[in-house]
Amino acid sequence: MRVLGIDTSSFALGISLIEDERIIFDLLINSGIPRSEDIIEIMSQWINNPAEIDGFGIALGPGSFTGLRVGIATVKGFALGFKKPVAGIPTLDAFVQGIISQGVPYAKYRITPIMDAKMDEVYTASYENDGRRLTSYLSIKPAELLDKLGDHIFVGNGVKIYSNLIKEKLGNRAHFISPNPDSPRGSWVAALALKRLKEGDSDNIDSLEPIYLHPPRIKHKT
């Protein structure tokens, strides 16, 4: 089964085509807010016959308002045009599953992706090292988040911005991957979409919407 995975939730475009366990291509382009034209151009260069794609995976966020709208609208157009199913994948879930699939160091620790949400907040959730999510998806002040955490691995573009604060708050309880993956890859989205689509689980494209967050608060220690 061939699945095209797309992530436009950050200021980068992740796009990948996988066929079951095989990655056909996996591109990450840091070119600012992605455009539908960028996605179409990559498809024209890398895919001989788009009709041979069996389904689509699209990152739902949380993330960039404009980027998410572009990605979801583009995939809806593909799904309608090629009459193929779509699986919407929460960005943070894809991030964590992708990190786990690569074999993270310090694998005994929980994983917390932190994505820059602007306005001194981050998009985040905390996960067990097997990928099980422990919290809701959050938009939260980094200091407030860190007050609730113990030993965790941190990944995402928020690491570069808040690494000093993380180290100050957690000391040797903070763990990082080098090099830090700051944006999700399309292959991570595609892998989770493939799993859903193989089980016959797809989304209604008319109701497929981005995950937008108001700032809820963590109520339990993770």
Residues 119-140 pLDDT 10s: 899 999 999 989 999 999 999 9
Instruction: Look at residue 21 and tell me whether its pLDDT is greater than 90.
Output: no
Instruction: Look at residue 85 and tell me whether its pLDDT is greater than 80.
Output: yes
- Fold of the 105-176 domain: Nucleotidyltransferase; domain 5 (3.30.420)
Instruction: Look at residue 10 and tell me whether its pLDDT is greater than 90.
Output: no
Contact 165, 129 (CB under 8 A): no
∠ CA 2-62-159, nearest 5°, is: 100
pLDDT of residue 135: 93
Instruction: Look at residue 104 and tell me whether its pLDDT is greater than 70.
Output: no
pLDDT, tens digit, for every residue of 35-58?
999 999 999 999 999 999 999 999
- Fold of the 2-90+183-198 domain: Nucleotidyltransferase; domain 5 (3.30.420)
Under DSSP, is residue 185 helix (H, G, I), strand (E, B) or coil? Answer: coil
Asked if domains 2-90+183-198 and 105-176 share a fold, the reply is yes
How far is 175 from 157, CA to CA, in rounded Å? 15
Q: What is the mean pLDDT of the chain?
A: 91
Spell out the residues 6+ positions from residue 18 whose beta carbon is closer than 8 angstroms to its own: 2, 3, 5, 24, 187, 190, 191, 194
